[in-house]
């Protein structure tokens, strides 16, 4: 097989891979958890209609194809909510339950506080189980990093 056919075959394979990966990428602007399950991307359209894909912590702007190829994994794309969506949902719930927005926000804050406390307790449990003779960072420093006072436990 001549060299140009090999080159053309690989080129087509790569184009097919890009097409398959791009098919599952979001089409509605928003903030998404990416298929790797760990990264996020902010997809929006500029005033001239050009798609822009920004990855937090990365200075570059990506395209649909480069995001689809560079950022892949086994998880489906997951749309995250913006603060605007959250505000609209809070208003909707308050109206549906005939509850003042302030009361609903206080209830949601209380739920978040309970979840934060449970997470802090889990972190503290893990920190307590860490071997005392470990040559790594001192336990108190790890706990302090997570805002936990070991003396209070």
Alpha-carbon gap, residue 143 to 153, rounded angstroms: 11
Alpha-carbon gap, residue 99 to 47, rounded angstroms: 38
pLDDT of the residue at 1: 45
Q: Which two tokens stand for residue 149?
A: 């006072």
pLDDT of the residue at 143: 74
- pTM value? 0.49
Q: Give first-to-last CA distance, the chain, whole Å.
A: 71
Structure-model confidence comparison of residues 25 and 53, the more confident one: 53
Instruction: Read off φ and ψ for residue 98, nearest 5 degrees.
Output: 50, 45
The lowest-confidence range among 2-6, 40-44, 68-72, 145-149 is 2-6
Q: How confident is the model at residue 148 (pLDDT cuts 50, 70, 90)?
A: confident
Instruction: Read off φ and ψ for residue 47, nearest 5 degrees.
Output: -60, -25
What DSSP state is assigned to residue 77?
P
Range list of H helices, the chain: 3-23, 64-70, 83-97, 101-129, 139-145
Q: Is the pLDDT of residue 4 over 70?
A: no
Q: Which of 90, 83, 88 is nearest to 105 (CA)?
A: 90
pLDDT of the residue at 153: 62
The lowest-confidence range among 12-21, 22-31, 104-113, 139-148 is 139-148
Q: What is the pLDDT of residues 62-114, one digit of tens each?
A: 888 888 776 667 778 888 887 788 889 999 999 999 999 999 999 999 999 99
Alpha-carbon gap, residue 152 to 146, rounded angstroms: 14
Q: What is the pLDDT of residues 30-71, one digit of tens each?
A: 898 887 777 888 999 999 999 999 988 888 888 888 887 766
Alpha-carbon gap, residue 35 to 28, rounded angstroms: 16
Give kind and range of the element (H or E) at residue 18: helix 3-23
């Amino acid at each position: 097989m001549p060299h140009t056919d090999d080159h053309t075959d690989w080129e087509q394979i790569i184009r097919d891979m890009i097409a398959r990966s791009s098919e599952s990428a979001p089409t509605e602007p928003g903030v998404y958890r990416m298929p790797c399950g760990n990264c996020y991307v902010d997809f929006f359209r500029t005033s001239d209609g050009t798609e822009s894909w920004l990855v937090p912590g990365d200075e570059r702007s990506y395209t649909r194809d480069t995001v689809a190829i560079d950022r892949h994994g086994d998880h489906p794309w997951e749309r995250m909510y913006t603060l605007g969506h959250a505000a609209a949902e809070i208003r909707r719930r308050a109206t549906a339950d005939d509850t003042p927005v302030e009361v609903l926000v206080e209830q949601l804050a209380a739920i978040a506080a309970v979840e934060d406390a449970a997470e802090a307790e889990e972190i503290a449990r893990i920190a307590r189980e860490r071997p005392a003779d470990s040559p790594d960072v001192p336990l108190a420093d790890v706990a302090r990093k997570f805002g936990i006072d070991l003396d209070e436990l």
